[in-house]
């Protein structure tokens, strides 16, 4: 074999070896770059099993603030030194309930009235009567709640629309179609001394 053929053969082998080394080196470099890129990716970008989102807890049921017991009202009165009447009432109606108190003289049907509201389970109002004082005789104290539509929002939530949560012997239907109301009354006898009577009344004497 001539010298030039031997030289050419050596050059061809060297070129093939360089080509193989380049390809192999290229594959290794690419693999290292892929691993480096994967390492830099945030955890969220990798393929991880998806967890089901936690179920939101059901909203707690709102506290039921309705008036669950029968309505109770206890009336009392006191005659002041000026012979005018002061009225108090204790009740389990919710605070802020708007009520009307009225004092009626049965002999003449003359009446005095005032509007107030329940505070800490009680109502107080007065004085009732003329400046000269109440004459002796029978008087009737009347207690009545205002319709639910004109009550404050907190009271309406407790007694319900049109007063539907109100219950007990003191609850009546409004004559004007305004729903349920609370009404009660009591008779009192105003006088200097206890009078003979068959009526179930309380005698009020001047103090």
And the tokens for 114?
A: 């005032």
And the tokens for 56?
A: 């939101």
Alpha-carbon distance of 125 to 119, in angstroms, equals 12
Q: Which residue has the tokens 């004497």?
A: 205
Residue-wise pLDDT for 168-196, tens only, equals 999 999 888 889 999 999 999 988 644 44
The pLDDT, as a whole number, for residue 99 is 97
Of 115, 93, 120, 117, the closest CA to residue 102 belongs to 115
The pLDDT, as a whole number, for residue 9 is 60
Contacts of 131 (CB under 8 A, 6+ apart): 82
Bridge-partner residues for 145, per DSSP? 99
* pLDDT interval class at 106 (50, 70, 90): very high
4 within 8 A of 12, measured Cβ to Cβ: no
Residue-wise pLDDT for 33-47, tens only, equals 555 555 555 554 455
The pLDDT, as a whole number, for residue 44 is 46
The per-residue pLDDT of the chain, averaged, comes to: 77
Bridge-partner residues for 139, per DSSP? 105, 188
Q: What percent of the chain has pLDDT over 70?
A: 61
Sorted by where each begins, the domain ranges of the chain are: 3-41, 73-204
Residue-wise pLDDT for 65-84, tens only, equals 788 899 999 999 999 999 99
Handedness of CA 42, 45, 51, 54 (dihedral sign): positive
Report the SS3 class of residue 189: strand
Q: What phi and psi, each to the nearest 5 degrees, are found at residue 54?
A: -60, 140
Alpha-carbon distance of 92 to 63, in angstroms, equals 19
Residue-wise pLDDT for 124-172, tens only, equals 999 999 999 999 999 999 999 999 999 999 999 999 999 999 999 999 9
Is the pLDDT assigned to residue 31 strictly greater than 70? no
Instruction: Tell whether pTM > 0.85.
Output: no
| CATH for the 73-204 domain, from 3.30.1360, 1.10.287, 3.40.50, 2.60.40 | 2.60.40
10 Å Cβ neighbour count for 139?
Answer: 28
Rg (CA), the chain: 47
Is the pLDDT assigned to residue 55 strictly greater than 50? no
The pLDDT, as a whole number, for residue 178 is 87
By CB atoms closer than 10 A (0-12, 13-18, 19+), residue 87 is buried
């Amino acid at each position: 074999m001539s010298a030039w053929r031997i030289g050419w053969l050596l050059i061809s082998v060297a070129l093939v070896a360089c080509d193989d080394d380049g390809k192999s080196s290229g594959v290794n470099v690419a693999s290292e770059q892929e691993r480096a890129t994967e390492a830099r990716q945030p955890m969220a970008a990798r393929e991880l099993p998806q967890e089901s989102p936690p179920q939101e807890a059901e909203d707690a049921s709102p506290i039921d603030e309705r008036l669950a017991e029968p309505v109770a009202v206890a009336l009392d009165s006191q005659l002041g030194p000026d012979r005018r009447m002061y009225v108090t009432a204790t009740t389990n109606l919710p605070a802020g309930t708007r009520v009307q108190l009225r004092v009626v003289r049965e002999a003449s049907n003359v009446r005095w009235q005032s509007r107030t509201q329940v505070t800490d389970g009680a109502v107080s109002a007065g004085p009732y009567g003329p400046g000269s004082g109440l004459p002796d005789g029978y008087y009737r104290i009347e207690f009545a709640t205002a319709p639910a539509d004109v009550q404050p929002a907190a009271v309406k939530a407790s007694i319900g629309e049109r007063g539907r949560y109100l219950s007990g012997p003191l609850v009546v239907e409004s004559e004007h179609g305004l729903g349920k109301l609370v009404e009660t009354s009591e008779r009192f006898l105003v006088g200097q001394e206890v009078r003979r009577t068959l009526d179930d009344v309380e005698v009020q004497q001047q103090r």
